[in-house]
Amino acid sequence: MPYPFSHVCTVFWIRNRFSLEVCRYLQPADDAPQLFSSLVELEGLGRRPLSSEQDLKSYERFAVEDHVHDVIEKLCEIPDARREFQLGSGIQFDNHTNVLDEDEDGQSEASNPQRPRPDQFCIHRVDGSTNSLLTTVEYKPPHKLSVESLRTGLRPMNFWQSGPADTIPTDAAEKLRHNAERLAGSAIIQEYHVMIQEGLEYSYVTIGLARVLLQVPYDDPSTLYYCLCEPKLDANAGDGHSLLGLNTDIGGVLCLCLMSFRSPPRDQAWRNAARARLHVWKTNFDHTSGCRMPTQSRAGCAPSDTSYYRESMDSSDSDSHQATSGRKRGFSQVIACPPTQRSGRQAGTRQVQSGSYKEHAVQLCTQRCLLGLQQGGPLDENCPNVKLHRRGCRHCIDTGTLVQLLQQQLDEDLDHKCTPFGARGSYGAPFRITCAAYGYTVVRKGTTSQLWKEVSHEAEIYQVLKRAQGSAVPVFLGAINLTNIYFLHGAGEIRHMLLMAWGGDSATDRKKGTVYRREKLRSIQEIRSLGIIHQDLRSDNIIWNIELNPALVIDFHRAELDRPLYPLSEPMALNPLNIPVN
C-alpha cells in the first residue's frame, strides 16, 4: 500500500460540533440523576503508569471505552438523539483478527512471516442482532511511541517524496528528527493501511498520553489528514471546551465514534481503486521503534489530573503481530486538518459514496434446482427463484455459463447482488450471490490467496464426489478467481471463491435423533465408497438440509483419496485429480 499526506484534520472542528450536540442532550438539570462515574472513581484510573501494552489496553477499556459506551447507551435512550446520530442499538468494542489470515492452530503471523495479518481493535455499530464495523483503532504504548516522537515526527508533508529517507543523517538533531518521522510514520501508516482496506473515513492511533485522529477523504485517498491531541495540554487550553469535556479522551473518542456513525464504510470499488493508485512503503514498527527519541518526561503514566480527565483511545494491542517484515502500507501526503468547508461538502455526498453493504434479501436456490442446472434437467418448481430462471420447462443455461456470468458480474462490481452472510469458518467466508441475468442465487465460499491451495483442493474433491452431490454433499458449481480483491472485515483479502448450493444449517439440535444419525452414517459411507476420506468429520462439518432431509458433509480441504488415481491399464484422459469420471 502507499503513503498519505499529512494535513491537520477536519475532525477538530467536527468534533466540537458533535460535542456540543451531545451536551445539548445530556447536559444535567438541577435535579437530574447521576448517570456516570464519580470524580473519585475517575481519579483512581490515573494512578497507574502505562508501562506495557497490557497496561494501555486495560486503561483504554476502563478509562475510555466503558465510558464512551455508557454515553452512547444513554443517547440511544433518547429517540431524537438516536435518530440524529444514527446510533442503531449502540456500539461494541472488540479485539479482532482476520480469521482467514490466521493459522488453523492459532499461530500468528509472527511465526509465519509469509502470512501477515492485521491485529486490530475494532469498534462496531450494533443494530439489533447484527454488528457492522464502525472504525478501527491502533494501540501504541508510550514506551514504544512517545509523545515527543509524535510532536516531532508529525508535520504536513508529501510523505512519498519528502518523508523519512533510508539514509540516517549524521547530525544529532537531524538524526532525532529522522527517527521521529520514521517512528510516527510507521505507526500511522499501519492504521492508514487498515483504513484503506476497510473503507474507513475516520480512525485513530493512541499511546494513552496522546492520540492522533485520522481522516481519509473520499475523493482523495492519497491524502491522510491528522490531528494530534494531547489531552493534558488541550484541556488546559482555556478555550472553554474543557469545561464541557470536549478535549478529554472520552470526549474525543465519543465524537469520533459519532462521526463514524454517519460515515459508513466505502464500497469495494473505492477500496480497490485507492489501493491501485497508492505507493508502497515496507515498514516494520517493531524494528523502527528501536529509534526512539529521548523523552523529557516519564515513559508513561495515565493522566491523573481528573479535572481534565482524558485518557487515550481504543486501539489494536499487539505490536508484535502488527507489522511483520515486508508488510505493505503507505500514503502520499499527510496534512494537518483541511478547511472546515471540506467536511461539509463530504457530508453532503456521503450517502452516495458510502459502501456499507446491506445483505440482499433474495432466497437461495434449492439443491434440486442447481442439480437440474448441473445435469441439464428440468426446473425445480419449488425453487423460490424459479420464475426468474424460466424460459421454458428446463434450464436454459448450464453451470459453466452461470460461473462465467457470475465472474463477469463480480469483475464489474463486487458489491452488486453479492453480500457476506453467516459465520466464517477457518478456511472460508460465506457469501450470497445472485446472477443478475437469470436469478440463480447461490453460496460462494470466499478465501484468501494464502488458503487457496487447500480450498482449491476442496474443489477437486467435489469433482470426484459428483455422483454424491445433492445426496451426501452440496451441489458444486465451480470456482472463480477474482480480478479485484473483496476486502472482508474479519476475514481478510478475498481473492478466490467456490460456488455451490446452500447446504443447510447446523445439525446441533438433531444430533440425538435417529433420523440424523442414520443419514449422517449414510452420507459418510457414500463419500467413502467414492474413495474419499474426509479427515475432519466434526459436527460443524455435517449439516442438515431441510429440503432433502439428508445430512450433508462439507469442508473437504483436508480430504484424501483412498484409491489409485487411475487404473494402470487405462489412459490418462482424466479430470483435474486424474480420477476417471464414472
The pLDDT value recorded for residue 471 is 93
pLDDT one-digit tens code per residue, 347-396: 333 333 333 556 677 899 999 999 999 999 999 999 999 999 988 788 99
Give the homologous superfamily in CATH for domain 367-561.
Phosphorylase Kinase; domain 1 (3.30.200.20)
What does the domain layout of the chain look like in residue ranges? 6-25+50-100+115-348, 367-561
Measured CA to CA, the distance from residue 447 to residue 428 in angstroms comes to 5
The pLDDT value recorded for residue 290 is 52
Q: Which amino acid is at 266?
A: R
Measured CA to CA, the distance from residue 256 to residue 95 in angstroms comes to 18
Smallest CA-to-CA distance from 193 within 355, 331, 7, 6 is with 331
91 vs 59, residue with greater confidence: 91
For the chain, give me the number of helices (H) and strands (E)? 18, 20
pLDDT band at 448, cuts 50/70/90? very high
Where are any strands of DSSP class E within 83-200? Answer: 90-97, 119-127, 130-139
Q: And the C-alpha cell for 48?
A: 497507574
Distances from the Cα of 541 to the Cα of 193, 442, 465, 479, 561, angstroms: 35, 19, 16, 20, 18
pLDDT band at 294, cuts 50/70/90? very low
pLDDT one-digit tens code per residue, 70-100: 999 999 999 999 999 999 999 999 876 666 7
Residue 452's Cβ-count burial label (10 Å; 0-12, 13-18, 19+) is middle
Instruction: Name the one residue in this structure whose C-alpha cell is 465519543.
Output: 254
DSSP letters for 257-271: HHHHHTSPPBPHHHH
pLDDT one-digit tens code per residue, 112-147: 444 444 446 899 999 988 889 999 999 998 888 999
pLDDT at 306 over 50: no
Measured CA to CA, the distance from residue 247 to residue 117 in angstroms comes to 34
Half-sphere exposure of 117 (CA within 13 A, CB side): 29
Distances from the Cα of 330 to the Cα of 192, 220, 364, 492, angstroms: 7, 14, 40, 18
Phi, psi of 260, rounded to the nearest 5 degrees? -70, -30
Task: Report whether 478 contacts 559 (CB < 8 A).
Answer: no
Q: Give the sign of the dihedral formed by CA 474, CA 415, CA 360, CA 122.
A: positive
Residue 170's Cβ-count burial label (10 Å; 0-12, 13-18, 19+) is exposed
**What's CA 132's distance to the chain center, in Å?**
9
Measured CA to CA, the distance from residue 542 to residue 503 in angstroms comes to 9
